[in-house]
A and B are shown apart, each in its own frame.
Chain A
Amino acid sequence: MGTAEPPKVNAAGGPGPATAARLGLIACHDCGLLSRFQAGGRLYCPRCGGVLHARKPNSEGRSWALVLAAILFYIPANVLPVTHTTYLGSTQSDTILSGVYYFMASGSWHIALIIFVASIVVPALKILILAFLLVSVRRRSDWRPEERTRLYHITELIGRWSMVDVYVVTVMVALLKLGALANVDAGVGIVFFGAVVVITMFAANSFDPRLIWDAMEKRS
């Protein structure tokens, strides 16, 4: 969320804290010029011609779309195998969950925990948090906006760490090429898993946290 927060100027006529939106102003992302809000269609910066928007355009809709796509991809990502491991002639296909189970069964519970958290909990959590934020924004909820904003920050922050799994598979596939002795091939599942991670990152990115606070302003 690289957008500049509107300066917290005390607005003379408004009951709440001053925001650019309340003052009817809009900042240009490209050159930083403040310009007055105009009703009508799409707004452009009078100085540099950049696209102006008070809130991320169609933030809710985009986020919803991406969250939905992430949910849809989350299913094959967990059902389909992510690796095909050939060891001494026998090929074994593993999904993320069976990998976690394998590591747990073989005693490496810490590795199992890392994989479980990074590959199963985090994407699911991201999707859930985003869905929750979107629902709350839609319902114009004023429930703990600060905590919700923090939740959003966490979502944005941890999103990239889910890619660990994709990297692990990529490295393993590249390294373990010992012919019939041992071989690792990537399964289709990892593609969907990568898609989930990337899409949730985009979803988080397209969500505008200012929407959380807009509801507060309307109330106050």
Chain B
Amino acid sequence: MTTQDRTQEPILEELPAAVVRPPRRFGLVWLIPLLAALIGLWLAIKAIHDAGPTVTITFESAEGLEAGKTRIKYKDVVVGKVESIRLSDDLSQVTVTADLQKEMEDYLTETTRFWVVRARVAAGEVSGLSTLFSGAYIGFEPGTNGAPAETFVGLEKPPSVTIDTPGSQYNLRAQRLGSLDIGSPVYYRQIKVGQVVGYAMTADGSAVDIQIFVQAPHNEQVRRNTRFWETSGLNVTLDTSGVRIDTESVMSLLIGGISFEIPANQPSEEAATEGDVFTLYESRDQVEAPVYAQRNYMLAYFNESVRGLNKGAPVEFSGIKVGEVVDVRLEFDEKKLAFRIPVLMAIEPERIAVKGDLKINRAELVSKLVAKGLRAQLRTGVLLTGQLYVNLSMFPDLPPQQVAHTGSYPVIPTVPGAAEEITAGIAAFVGRLEKLPVEEIGSELSASLRQIRQLIGSEDTVAAIAALRQSLAELQRFTATLNDTSVPQMNAALTQLRQVLARTESAVASADGLMSGNTALTYDLQQMMQELAKAGRAISVLADYLQRHPESLVFGKEEPKP
């Protein structure tokens, strides 16, 4: 590109020279790597900035987990991913390393929980079915308090209540767990409002503590006097009031559950605070049975069979329950060589409304009542099952009796029960029947018969029969004469009578024609009757109207509304 080159080539001299213009500025091409660098830098910064915490979770098994694939989800939003799965050093567990999003950093505390969500078909719940297709994922529940942590122990079962569910937790103390399990429903008025979240034996092993969680706003229904009872399965009760079948729902029939309510006879107290301890009753009956603090015990000795009288059978007074049978046993009196059945009854005096103030003491009251005729009686509650109950009743006709005492218990005298009365009546009847002098009656009867036979066979009888025959012959003769003389006269009299009757008939016929024919008289009569009937109807309408609108007497008849 030197000038010498050009001069040496004459052909080239003829070629036109290129046009020269001032050079342009720096190439825009460098913007591309600059842009690339900027994007790369931005990506790098973003990657560093977004890099969330790495956590280590230990599980019993890595079933369904896959490194690089399994997600960590919170409320079904992906918040992290499993990076690696290793066995722990002693091969007893699986250590899962997972990267979480940066936003989760603040929620990784001691209370943070991780669990594997797999398809679970357990009693009362079917969950995680979506994982059948998508594979398991790790559920995550953010922790809100406690020290920050990086290592966690994964739960084997999903927690039934997540921390963000509003509600309260309560403790129930029960004698046994029954068919309850974690996740068993808690019902209030048969609506599921919570569930069992845990249970543990008390430290001394004497009872079971069951933790339940009641969701808001139903937790407000848990008051300090709320009663909880177990609705496990089916509760069939057979007592004097018949057969009762209690169940809360089909679900609880299968898996059990807990119900709660404020007893109907109590006002609701202030709301319970979280963590309060309640007693878990075994059945609704136990809850609903009002608790009477005062119990007076009485004894009654029955001589009849008490088959069908159970512990807890009601003691009624005129059909109203006043207490229950506490104990039934058999006693043997060695001296008298006799058996008797003392029935211990608990009377709850609070069940009885007392008019005025009760001034006399209990023992005195009982003896006074017994003196007035208070007796105990066994009665059949349900005829079919033969359940018995104790009936207290006043029998003023019975001779007054004194109250005996066995130990500290007053003894109420007894009267035979209804069944016993019937039996006794039949027995008395049979006894009387037995006393009848059957043989005597028989011998007298045969003597009478013999006398009759003698009478028939005697001469007097024969003579009487001959006389009778004679009298009959005479009667025959008398009838014959009567035929010959009296009958023709009677015939004539009858003919005359017939003529009179015929005449009477024609007179009646003419009277009939007068009444029924189309004569003016009958027509007038009919008309008059019809008019009278109309008048009667009008009067009745008027009376009716007046009854409904008595004011029309003063204000006149109301104009009919269109």
Contact = CB atoms under 8 A, between A and B. Distances in A.
Interface of A: 11-14, 21-26, 33-47, 49, 52, 58, 61-62, 65-66, 68-70, 72-73, 75-76, 80, 88-90, 92, 192, 195, 199, 206
A13 B39 contact: no
B520 interface: no
B266 to A, nearest CB: 52
A69 B23 contact: no
Interface residues of B, number: 34
A58 B27 contact: yes
B40 A45 contact: no
A68 B1 contact: no
B27 A36 contact: no
Nearest to B14: A36
A24 B6 CA distance: 6
A62 B26 CA distance: 11
Nearest to B66: A90
6 contacts: A41-B21, A42-B20, A42-B24, A46-B18, A68-B33, A76-B39
Contact of B29 (A34, A40, A44, A61): A61
Contacts of B23: 41-42
Contacts of A14: 5
B134 A69 contact: no
A199 B36 CA distance: 10
With most chain B CB atoms within 10 A of its CB, the pick from A36, A68, A75 is A36
Interface of B: 1-2, 4-6, 8-9, 12, 15-24, 27, 29-30, 32-33, 35-37, 39-40, 43, 69, 130, 133-135
A179 B18 CA distance: 64
B534 to A, nearest CB: 87
B69 A38 contact: no
Contact of A65 (B21, B30, B40, B130): B30
Given A72-B36, A89-B134, A43 B29 contact: no
B20 A66 contact: no
Contacts of B4: 13
Given A23-B5, A61-B30, A90 B19 contact: no
Contacts of A192: 39
A22 B16 contact: no
A39 B2 CA distance: 10
Contacts of B6: 24, 36
Contact of A36 (B17, B21, B33): B17
B67 to A, nearest CB: 12
A24 B12 CA distance: 9
A49 B16 CA distance: 13
Contacts of A90: 69, 133-135
B18 A45 contact: yes
B138 to A, nearest CB: 13
Given A24-B12, A36-B16, 7 more contacts: A11-B5, A13-B8, A33-B16, A45-B19, A46-B17, A49-B19, A61-B29
Pick from A24, A37, A46, A62 the residue with the most CB of B within 10 Å.
A24
A40 B20 contact: yes
A66 B32 contact: yes
Given A23-B5, A24-B12, A66-B33, A76 B22 contact: no
A92 B22 CA distance: 57
A192 B40 CA distance: 10
Nearest to A195: B36
Contacts of B16: 33, 35-36, 46-47
Contact of B9 (A12, A45, A65): A12
A44 B27 contact: no
Contacts of B36: 68-70, 72-73, 195, 199
A2 B6 CA distance: 26
A45 to B, nearest CB: 7
Contacts of B2: 24
B130 A89 contact: yes
A74 B12 CA distance: 48
Contacts of A25: 12, 15
B144 to A, nearest CB: 29
Contacts of A33: 16
Contacts of B21: 41-44
A72 B4 CA distance: 46
B20 A43 contact: yes
A185 to B, nearest CB: 15
A195 B4 CA distance: 47
B15 A34 contact: yes
A61 B40 CA distance: 21
Contact of B18 (A12, A52, A61, A206): A52
B8 A22 contact: no
A170 B5 CA distance: 56
Contacts of A45: 18-19
A14 B9 CA distance: 11
A88 B134 contact: yes
Contacts of B22: 41-42
B134 A62 contact: no
B218 to A, nearest CB: 34
Contacts of B29: 58, 61-62, 65-66, 206
Given A13-B8, A58-B29, A76 B40 contact: yes
Contacts of A88: 133-134
Contact of A35 (B18, B30, B134): B18
B135 to A, nearest CB: 5
A134 to B, nearest CB: 13
B353 to A, nearest CB: 68
A35 B17 contact: yes
A72 B133 contact: no
Contacts of B27: 58, 61-62, 65
B195 to A, nearest CB: 27
Contacts of A39: 20
Closest 6 CB pairs of A and B: A89-B134, A69-B36, A72-B36, A40-B20, A43-B18, A68-B33
A193 to B, nearest CB: 13
B1 A37 contact: yes
A11 B15 CA distance: 16
Nearest to A63: B29
B8 to A, nearest CB: 5
B121 to A, nearest CB: 18
Contacts of A61: 27, 29-30
A70 B39 CA distance: 12
A73 B36 CA distance: 6
Best-surrounded residue of B4, B24, B29 (most CB of chain A within 10 A): B29
B5 A36 contact: no
